[in-house]
A and B are shown apart, each in its own frame.
Chain A
């Protein structure tokens, strides 16, 4: 397929899609309308189960099974990256030389690292109350660890990051999610149904039944997954070299 032909194909397809999309957009309920039947029911269900953050309730209670699917995609992506970016036989590891970092930058990185890590944990822990949750907090916590690479050097990061441990953590968190779901089955109701624990007092950390548990499991999985992913990429970009040495 030549370049010119492909461009034509894109132009025709894009124009068709644009026309259809515009026609559909003009027919959609106007932006900001007042008719949200599903949303109103979701809010009602969440309040009846004492979960202050309705979005967390939708994710970890009303549509918990859907979130299990999302977690599976995440897990599969991590495994796929691991398989694609493993060290092959004709590659070898070269220890990178330490990078010099200006002193204010290094100090900033070492100072902000614990703050960012704590913020990540705070965002996970308050997931069922205020904006936040396992997905966001996990990414923040995992990113904060990599300040060690940015502000100090790669070997410092490697010392606090035994990748095998994080891989195990990833698997354990995924199983914890499934086990929490199965526990509901043993309790005599449906898979992942939020009937196991008391709903607690509205707007406290332990409210919402199994929502905080599932939230914590997702937080742990996302944090471990991001650490493992970045470890694979850093290995490739920094350490692993090809051929028989340079």
Chain B
């Protein structure tokens, strides 16, 4: 009955479900990548849910996640720099795939919102989301080159 919520459910089951699997198994380097991708998939899902429930105020959630999700990844990249230094995780293919999901969802909800202040906010969230995830991936793949205890 509501395509937005259906799309959100698909992203949750596919994208976020995959990241839960990725973070639960495998070596450390795979887990940090999965943690980063979790934000990248959850944020578009929140935008879709906000549109699906017809509640513009839910966009605040996506805004906070787009800001703090990459910060969480930076925490891991910084404090695990020692462990990750030998074999830096780089998953640019997956990062760009997640960014593409964001880049698809944001224009769609923008069109549905129409030109207004709400649309400006949605675009802002989109820029933060994609920029944040690309930078977080960069941080994981050797963003803290000389790992010291500082």
Contacts and interface: CB of A to CB of B under 8 A. Distances in A.
Which of the four size classes fits the interface of chain A?
Answer: 20 to 34
Interface in B56-110: 57-58, 60-61, 63-64, 67-68, 70-71, 74-75, 77-78, 81
Contacts of A112: 67, 70-71, 128, 132
Contacts of A115: 67, 128
Nearest to B79: A237
Nearest to A107: B135
B67 A116 contact: yes
A109 B149 contact: no
A123 interface: yes
Contacts of B150: 96-99, 153-154, 238
A131 interface: yes
Contacts of B74: 105, 109, 147, 150-151
A105 B68 contact: no
Contacts, number: 82
Interface in A102-149: 102, 104-105, 108-109, 112, 115-116, 119, 123, 130-132, 136, 140, 143-144, 146-147, 149
A100 interface: yes
Given A105-B135, A108-B131, A140-B68, A119 B144 contact: no
A132 B63 CA distance: 12
Contacts of A146: 71
* Interface SS majority for chain B: helix
B142 interface: yes
B138 A140 contact: no
Interface residues of B, number: 30
A102 B128 CA distance: 19
B83 to A, nearest CB: 15
Contact of B144 (A102, A140, A154, A238): A102
B40 interface: no
A153 B150 CA distance: 7
A153 B146 CA distance: 13
Contact of B138 (A97, A102, A132, A150): A102
B64 A130 contact: no
B38 interface: no
Contact of A101 (B63, B70, B143): B143
Interface in B96-138: 128, 131-132, 135, 138
B135 A131 contact: no
B145 A100 contact: yes
Given A115-B128, A131-B57, A101 B68 contact: no
A105 B138 CA distance: 7
B8 interface: no
B139 interface: yes
Interface centre among B61, B78, B131, B143 (most CB of A within 10 A): B143
Interface of B: 57-58, 60-61, 63-64, 67-68, 70-71, 74-75, 77-78, 81, 128, 131-132, 135, 138-139, 142-150
Given A101-B143, A140-B64, 4 more contacts: A97-B150, A99-B78, A104-B138, A119-B67
Across the A-B interface, the 7 shortest Cβ-Cβ residue pairs: A96-B150, A108-B135, A130-B57, A99-B150, A105-B143, A102-B143, A150-B74
Interface of A: 96-102, 104-105, 108-109, 112, 115-116, 119, 123, 130-132, 136, 140, 143-144, 146-147, 149-151, 153-154, 238
